[in-house]
Structure formats: C-alpha cells, structure tokens
Chain A
Amino acid sequence: MIPRAIQETEAPFLRKKVPEFRVGDTVDVHVRIEEIKAKGEKKQRIQIFSGDVIARKHGGVRETFTVRRIVQGEGVERIFPLHSPVIDKIDVRKRGKVRRAKLFYLRELTGRAGKLKERRGARTGAETPVAAPEAVPAAPEGSPEGATPPTKGAPKTEKVAT
C-alpha cells in the first residue's frame, strides 16, 4: 500500500491522460526537445520515437516503459518515465499479441522473427484514456473481433502443435 502522503505528493506530477497500452504494442512517443539556437533563443520541437513497447516497470510516478525499434539495421532502445513532462503524448499505433510481460527475447531476433503479431480489432489511436468506457472497438480492415491473426512469419513459440 502506498501511504497517502506519498500519493498526494506524486499526484501533481502524474500524467492526466495515460493511454492504455501494453507490452507488445507499437507506439509513437512524442518527445519535447528544447533547442538553443545560435542567437540564444530557445525553440521547442517535437521528436517522435516509434517502436515496440518491450517492458513496463515500476508503478506510480516512477513507472517507466521501454521502446525498441530498429534504426538502420541496429536495435535502439529508449526508456521513458511514463509521467515525464518531456513526453508530449503517446500514440498507440498497433496492438501486439504477446505472451510475455517483458519482450527482451526480441533482442536476439532479427528480421521477420522480431516482428510482433497484431491484436486485430483492439482500440488504437492518440492518447486513448485509461478509464475509457467499454466501447465497441472500431474494427480496422473489417476484421471481426477475435479473428485469428495470420500465422505466417510468427515467432516459433506461437506455433500450434499438431
């Protein structure tokens, strides 16, 4: 149990709208970057880091998530504090279908093997609020909810035994 005093101290630092996303989802993280121009003036711009969420850790204000992407054939991971004011917003691009809480095994995989299966029919989009009412998910690409995702190119662990 988190003591009330700690909760109250953390409260003003918590992100108001945290999108509901899980390990395995593909997200765009919009990061605010402050640049100092030659004339000394400050300018803010947004940089987007998109990739797969491979871990979520801790809780409360200390919660962090790790995003992994492949840049020019090289794996790049970035750990973001979920409630960092530097993060402008988090867009959920795709829902992944995974069977682990931490996807560190992806580090060993390359190419198609490192691709995550998609959870079709799940909600995506910008800043999906946490406590969103159970709305009927807008099924993209006309696939009904619970449809079997394509098995081709899936990780070996997902193969059904005959």
Chain B
Amino acid sequence: MLEALLGKKLGMTQVFAPDGTVTSVTVLQGGPCVVLQVRTKERDGYRALQLGLDDRREKNATKAAIGHAKKAKTAPKRFIREVAWAGDALPEAGSVLTCEALKDVPKVDVIGISKGRGFTGGMKKWRFKGGGAAHGSKHHRKPGSVGQHTFPNRVFPYKKMAGHHGATRFTVRNLRVVAIQPDVSRILVYGGVPGPAGGYVVIRRAVGHRARGGKAGA
C-alpha cells in the first residue's frame, strides 16, 4: 500500500458545507507520479519506491538523470523523492501512481519547503516581544540581553538571535482530507501547507493512520 505521494501546492480557497459551514482548504495536485526505481528487500534491505513528478526537458536535465529515467521508460523528472511502501506486491518501475492511491486516507501529513524569509530579526524569527514603540524607549525591535558578564564571558551556542529564517523543510501533521478528485489529480486538505503556491510537497498518510505492519518513516 502506498504511504506517500508527490504533489504540488496549487493554492488556497474555501468550501461550503450544506449547512453553510465554511472550511478553508489548500488545493494540492497529487500525482500522477511515475515509479522511477523500486527498492527491494533483497537488493536494498528495505522496501520503498522512488517517485518522480513533473517532466524536466531533456535539454535541461543531466545525462545521469536522463539515463536514470530511461530505465523506467520515462522522461527525467523535476521532483524526485523516495516513499515507503507497506505490503508485499511492489509496483514495477515505470508504473504510474495517482491520487487514487490515497483514496481511503482520512488524514495526511504534508511535507514542504517553507517560504524563505531571508535575514530576519528576532521578533519575527523567534517571536521576541521587542521594546516599547514610543515614550522615547529607543529599544524598538532589539533582542535585549544575550547573556551575563565576566562569567561566562561569552554568548552560549544556539542563543536565539536574528538570522536566516524560512526555506526549510516543514511537516504539517494530521490535515483532514476534504476531497480527492482523481479525474483532475487534486486533493483538498483542511488548513495550510508550507511553501508557496506551485511548491512541491510530499503528501503522506498521517502517521497515526498508517496501515498496520507498515514501516514508519517515509
């Protein structure tokens, strides 16, 4: 059974229930993914699938990527990830998986790369309170004290300070699947998902909703 699928964030909107309740949803493109390679117990020591999403033109692909895709009789891909597979019958390389594979999944985890925020101050990055805005405070968005005096005479490692923020891998867990539309390869999930519209994501069966016997970890 498929544990995760590759997808793309398409954007957000809202959806009405018949009683007028509004659900905010993220529209995800889920697949269709091509199986590029199969990891077997015999050869690799574990079972998994290497999936690819979205073709990359051969002109822009490396020869290694073209050769690798050729083994699965497909074009080189833009987004390649390995996903877990629970159960025995592994699909062959070159076969295509669609969002239908996640049909009965009530909840998913979505993994994506968050939007990059560049070099960010402590208030935004670590939710520091900052200082007063007026009354001559002169301490508006500063971080404040970063340590003690002659002892220890240094700033401790990992002190929360300003720096690069965002553009890291994030997982949002247990998002309710609102709808799956196999005809257009779309999955609607409740709530937000990391990254910009158009960003690639991994849509994974939520850890708490895994099939029994399936190995954890994508």
User: Which A residues are closer than 8 A to B by beta carbons?
Assistant: 3, 5-6, 8-10, 13, 34, 60-62, 81, 83-86
Contacts and interface: CB of A to CB of B under 8 A. Distances in A.
Nearest to A8: B184
Contacts of B14: 61-62
B211 interface: no
Given A6-B10, A81-B16, A85-B16, 11 more contacts: A3-B197, A5-B184, A6-B11, A6-B12, A8-B184, A9-B15, A60-B13, A84-B16, A84-B22, A85-B17, A86-B20
A3 B188 CA distance: 15
Contacts of B20: 81, 84-86
B186 interface: yes
A83 B15 CA distance: 10
Contacts of B25: 9
Q: Top 3 A-B pairs ranked by shortest CB distance?
A: A86-B20, A5-B10, A6-B11
B19 A34 contact: yes
Chain B, interface size: which category?
10 to 19
B37 interface: no
B11 A3 contact: yes
Contacts of B186: 5, 9
A60 to B, nearest CB: 7
Interface of B: 10-20, 22, 25, 27, 29, 184, 186, 188, 197
Contacts of A84: 16, 20, 22
Nearest to A4: B10
Contact of A61 (B16, B19, B197): B16
Nearest to B29: A5
A5 B198 CA distance: 11
Contact of A5 (B11, B15, B19): B11
A5 B30 CA distance: 12
A61 B16 CA distance: 9
Nearest to B8: A5
30 contacts: A3-B10, A3-B11, A5-B27, A5-B184, A5-B186, A6-B10, A6-B13, A6-B27, A8-B184, A9-B13, A9-B15, A9-B25, A9-B27, A9-B186, A9-B188, A13-B15, A34-B19, A60-B13, A61-B13, A61-B14, A61-B15, A62-B14, A81-B16, A83-B16, A84-B16, A84-B20, A85-B17, A85-B18, A86-B19, A86-B20
B13 A10 contact: yes
B186 to A, nearest CB: 7
A17 to B, nearest CB: 16
A7 B197 CA distance: 14
A8 B12 CA distance: 12
Nearest to B17: A85
Contacts of A61: 13-16
Nearest to A7: B13
A13 B20 CA distance: 11
Contacts of A62: 13-14
Contacts of A60: 13
Contacts of B17: 85
B93 to A, nearest CB: 29
B97 to A, nearest CB: 20
A62 B184 CA distance: 23
Given A8-B184, A9-B27, A9-B186, A81 B22 contact: yes
A57 to B, nearest CB: 14
A122 B11 CA distance: 39
A6 B29 CA distance: 11
